[in-house]
Amino acid sequence: MSSQPTARTAAAKASDFPTGVALLRDPTLNKGTAFTMAERNALGLRGLLPPHVFSQDEQVQRVLKNLRVLPNDLDKYVNLNALHDRNEALFFRVLTDHPDEMMPIVYTPTVGLACQQFGLIFQRPRGIFIGANDRGQVASLLRNWPYKDVKIIVVTDGERILGLGDLGANGMGIPVGKLSLYVACAGVHPNQCLPVMLDVGTENEALLNDPLYVGLRQKRVRGPAYDELIDEFLMAAQDVFPGVVIQFEDFANVNAFRLLHKYRERICTFNDDMQGTAGVVLAGLLSALRITGGKLTGQKILFLGAGEAATGISDLVVSAMVEQGLPRDEARRHCWLVDSRGLVVKSRTDLAEHKRPYAQDFSFLPDFPSAVEALKPTAIIGVAAVANTFTQPVLEAMARFNQRPIVFALSNPTSKSECTAEEAYRWTGGRGIFACGSPFDPVTVNGQTFVPRQGNNSYIFPGVGLGTIACGARHVTDEMFSAAAWALTRQVTEADIAQGSLYPALSRIQEVSAHIATAVAKVAYDKGLATKPKPADLSAHVSAQMYDPRYRSYVQNL
């Protein structure tokens, strides 16, 4: 496994290796009180640190003790960011050793509040900000990034952050958080990860009037000027970082579908909100069917929402049904969408292009509860970011129609969840099969304790990214996400299923991501999409790529 230090630290006596205060101020190299006496003598650190040498394990305990006394998760988020700014290896060691506790802080649900408060809590820039006023200079901005071996870029324009809407440049918290998960969940090296914010303005009046707002104070650039900036960025990224994978994140529907369609065959790119979400939901459905005993082709799935997530999930579910023998048109009749105006049916004349493949030949129904009663679905999936929409009547209806109703309340942050875990289990009499977008505590109903787990994209996209890096994939295909979903569900144990958990424990996330990465790379090699020679042992090759945040000595042969 690769580890900290990086290649430039291979010899501590190299003339360009920092020493003294410069070393302590470099978060990629700093070990703080864990520098050994030999390192302190060789690197000019004597007297700059307290005399006792701590192990990294002891440093982790100090971090946890300080973190756990803080009054709220936003303070914990700021505290962890400060740790990242001074000691990168220790930050990722804390994340990888304690994923259940740390991931809700560094990503959902806390990252949503962090984005809302971004101007207030901003301490140190992380990533590249590209503004609408930087047209013609994007490549030079990317070359300002100090690390040249970038393999993954997560990019957003901040228009649709989680379920919170247009947060403009404050949305930078999302790619920063996503790339932290690439490292913590899949062992992608931090130096290979680059967060990018495309700041084209915002329609959020509160931000435009906020004196602490960090972004351009203008309305959003749209039309040809927007497209030209996107194109310049994507082409510049390929030039500056050849072969880099571009992950689109939290773009509004108006841009997300067309950008993915435009570029997916030209560069190595994917949209996590569409394809990553689809992969994790398909895996959850496959796990749920281990409980119900049903077949995927026998499900009727009703979505609350008809945007990127709902249509992306539907597309992947349809592909999986086609693989199992259904004609595509028939498979589409198993997926039903409800948007803000009602059931998506053929008689409607107001449907956007991405909804039309799922417009059913059925009577119009005005809302989600009426659709549930009329359609009697086997599964309901909430991805509309509208809180409290899986009401008691809806869940009780699902329990009438199904011995084991499947209920996925996937909107995040927690304030946008369609229902809580407690509601999902109690209002179905303990028969509901539940997955969530934000974390919920275990629930005991009728003497049985259920352990809900997040249907979070962090189960899928880090492994997909690692797999594309390991094989040098030219494109990211739907088949890769299907393979990722099957690989994920195979990692769900019988013990997980027995307690109602549709996903593996987060404590196993790096192991799980390695399996997913191997499955993704195998598809790339099988389909001729890999640019690197195929190794004899693909699984071992993938594992060898993974970053280990444990300290290594900087001083050799002392």
DSSP 275-306: IIHHHHHHHHHHHHHHHH---GGG--EEEE--
Three-class secondary structure assignment of 469-519: HHHCECCCCHHHHHHHHHHHHHCCCHHHHHCCCCCCCHHHHHHHHHHHHHH
Residue 528 lies in a domain: no
Q: Is the pLDDT of residue 4 over 80?
A: no
The predicted pLDDT at position 162 comes to 87
Whether 15 has a pLDDT exceeding 80, the answer reads no
Residue 75 lies inside a defined structural domain of this protein: yes
Looking at 31, 178, 355, 416, which residue is catalytic? 178
Same domain, 77 and 136: no
Q: Are residues 42 and 86 in the same domain?
A: yes
For residue 31, is it within any domain?
Answer: yes
Q: Residue 342 and residue 370: Cα distance in Å, rounded?
A: 9
Assign 8 a pLDDT band (cuts: 50, 70, 90). very low
Q: Is 80 exceeded by the pLDDT of residue 305?
A: yes
Domain end position, chosen among 267, 292, 323: 267
Number of residues that this document lists for the chain: 558
Both 241 and 329 in one domain: the answer is: no
Task: Check if 503 is active-site.
Answer: no
The domain that holds 12 is classified in CATH as 1.20.1370.30
Residues 400 and 316 placed together within one structural domain of the fold: yes
Q: How confident is the model at residue 1 (pLDDT cuts 50, 70, 90)?
A: low
pLDDT at 5: 46
Distance CA 389, CA 412 (A): 13
- Please indicate whether residue 107 is annotated as part of the active site: yes
Kindly report the average pLDDT of the chain as a whole number.
94
Are the beta carbons of 545 and 513 closer than 8 angstroms? no
Mean pLDDT of 434-460: 94
Q: How far apart, in whole angstroms, are the C-alpha atoms of residue 170 and residue 56?
A: 33
Q: Do 324 and 284 fall into the same domain?
A: yes
Q: Domain boundary residue among 458, 493, 525?
A: 458
Pair 379, 358: CB distance under 8 Å: no
Six-digit token string for 407: 């209920």
Give the end of a domain, one of 228, 246, 267.
267
Taking residues 23-44, report their average pLDDT: 96
- In 3-state terms, what secondary structure has residue 59? helix
Q: What is the pLDDT of residue 3?
A: 52
Q: What is the pLDDT of residue 413?
A: 81
pLDDT for 397 beyond 70: yes
pLDDT greater than 70 at residue 12: no
Residue 1, token pair as written in the block: 């496994």
CA dist list (Å): 264 to 159, 234, 463? 21, 11, 19
Helix locations, 215-252, DSSP H: 224-240
- As a whole-number percent, the residues of the chain with pLDDT over 90 amount to 92
**215 located within any domain:** yes
Q: Are strands 448-450 and 443-445 parallel, antiparallel or unpaired?
A: antiparallel
- The angle formed by the CA atoms of residues 13, 14 and 18, to the nearest 5 degrees, is 85
CATH number assigned to the domain comprising residue 424 = 3.40.50.720
286 and 428 within one domain: yes
Domains in the chain: how many in total? 3
Cβ-contact 448, 245 below 8 angstroms: no
Structure-token pair, residue 214:
């960090």
> How far from each other are the two terminal CA atoms of the chain, in whole angstroms?
24
Q: Which of 107, 213, 503, 554 is catalytic?
A: 107
At residue 10 the predicted structure's pLDDT band, cuts being 50, 70 and 90, is very low
- Average pLDDT in the 427-450 region? 95
Torsion of CA 110, 218, 229, 263, to 10 degrees: 50
Residue 496 lies inside a defined structural domain of this protein = no
Q: Give the pLDDT of residue 351.
A: 95
| 445 and 332 housed in the same domain | yes
Q: What is the CATH number of the domain that holds 143?
A: 3.40.50.10380
Q: Do 331 and 381 belong to one domain? A: yes
Position 469 pLDDT exceeds 50? yes
Give the C-alpha distances (Å, rounded to integers) separating 283 from 57, 154, 322, 376.
35, 23, 16, 22
- Quick: pLDDT tens for 425-436: 999 999 999 999
Whether the per-residue pLDDT at 185 is higher than 90: the answer is yes
Which tokens go with 264? Answer: 């997916």
Query: Does 27 sit behind a cis peptide bond, omega within 30 degrees of 0 on the bond before it?
Result: no
Residues 394 and 444 in one domain: yes
Nearest alpha carbon to residue 417 among 451, 446, 375, 455: 455
Sign for the pseudo-dihedral over CA of 283, 288, 293, 299: negative
Question: Quick one: pLDDT at residue 557?
Answer: 42
Task: Print the domain residue range for 92.
Answer: 2-103
The answer to whether 363 touches 287, Cβ cutoff 8 Å, is no
Let me know if residue 220 belongs to a domain.
yes
Same domain, 243 and 203: yes
The answer, as to whether pTM is greater than 0.85, is yes
Pair (155, 237) in one structural domain: yes
Look at residue 558 and tell me if it is in a domain: no
Same structural domain for residues 172 and 298? no
| pLDDT value of position 108 | 85
Would you state the pLDDT for residue 410?
95
Predicted confidence (pLDDT) at residue 369 exceeds the cutoff of 80: yes
92 within some domain? yes
Torsion of CA 121, 126, 132, 135, to 10 degrees: 160
- Looking at residue 558, what is its pLDDT? 40
Token pair, residue 175, equals 């790619």
